[in-house]
Amino acid sequence: MFHHQPLSGQTALITGASRGIGAAIAAELAAAGATVVVNYAHSETAAAALVTSIAAAGGKAWSLKANVANEEEVEAMVKQILERENRIDILINNAGITKDGLLMRMKTADWQSVIDLNLTGVFLCSRAVSRAMLKARSGRIINITSVVALMGNPGQANYSAAKAGVIGLTRSTAAEFASRGVTVNAVAPGFIATDMTKELESEAILRSIPLGRMGSTKEVAGVVRFLAADPAASYITGQVLQVDGGMVMR
């Protein structure tokens, strides 16, 4: 049988990979041959179970705890990966949280914690891997943003601002790293069935999606795999790829 392993020999760090979209991305990149580092902040058991299931499927993975909103923890995480694997080829900035509430009543702490993880965390991880990627003159950074960055959403001023910030960060980083062969792109999911959205599924939401259903984590992971692949996506940089069932057409 012919097993095509386009990412074999590469190391991929996926932040927030213990559950949801991140876990699906980790499984997908491992199936494509990458050695996958499963980052998590709290869900140690889930991260360990994912590592075990990837290994059982013939893939390579290990888990690493770090709060990606914390500069010291991010630096230590990347140092540990470079010591163990000698390389980081792919960074998927996926870790994210919501703290929803109407702006008028939004607590400053709920604004700040969402900005700290969803935006500053992307900056911290991108900066931490940049030296290794620029030196290697190759690399892929894929940032998970959201369609709400493009359309706004009542109750998500903090989240949509952070995710819109990620798009600006993606484009500027892409412009800075392009001459060294490192591409930087964003994926903007619509409504994907995960813990984050489990209370959201409703008739109104489904009506706003032309394809008429929530997306699956696999449908996001497949696009990330494409953006990580060579030569499939090696000429794509600074782009935002929507995976939203047609919610936002522009």
Contacts of 84 by beta carbon, 8 Å cutoff, 6+ apart: 62
40, 159, 177, 191: which one is catalytic?
159
How near is the Cβ of 213 to ligand NAP at its closest, in Å?
A: 12
Question: Is 64:75 a contact under the CB 8 Å cutoff?
Answer: no
Does 144 sit near ligand NAP (CB under 6 A)? yes
Q: Cα torsion for 189, 156, 38, 195, to the nearest 10°? A: -80
Which C-beta is closer to ligand NAP: that of 21 or that of 27? 21
- Residue 124 interacting with ligand NAP (CB under 6 A): no
What phi, psi does 130 have (nearest 5°)?
A: -65, -40
Question: What is the token pair recorded at 165?
Answer: 């910030």
Size of the site for ligand NAP (CB under 6 A): 30
Q: Is 170 helix (H, G, I), strand (E, B) or coil?
A: helix
Residue with smaller CB distance to ligand NAP, 7 or 69: 69
CB of 23 to ligand NAP, least distance (A): 7
The answer to whether residue 40 is catalytic is no
Lay out the site mask for ligand NAP across 26-65 (x = CB under 6 A, - = otherwise): -------------xxxxx----------------------
Cβ-based nearer residue to ligand NAP, 6 or 123: 123
Distance CA 227, CA 67 (A): 25
Subset of residues 178 to 237 that bind ligand NAP, contact rule: CB under 6 A = 189, 191-192, 194-197
Helix, strand or coil for residue 108? helix
**Of the candidate residues 61, 117, 119, 161, the single one contacting ligand NAP (CB under 6 A):** 117
Q: Looking at 99-244, list the stretches that DSSP marks H as alpha helix, in order from N- to C-terminal side.
A: 108-115, 121-136, 148-151, 157-177, 203-207, 217-228
Which residues are at the interface with ligand NAP (CB under 6 A)? 15-22, 39-43, 67-69, 94-97, 117, 144, 146, 189, 191-192, 194-197
Q: Which residues are catalytic?
A: 159
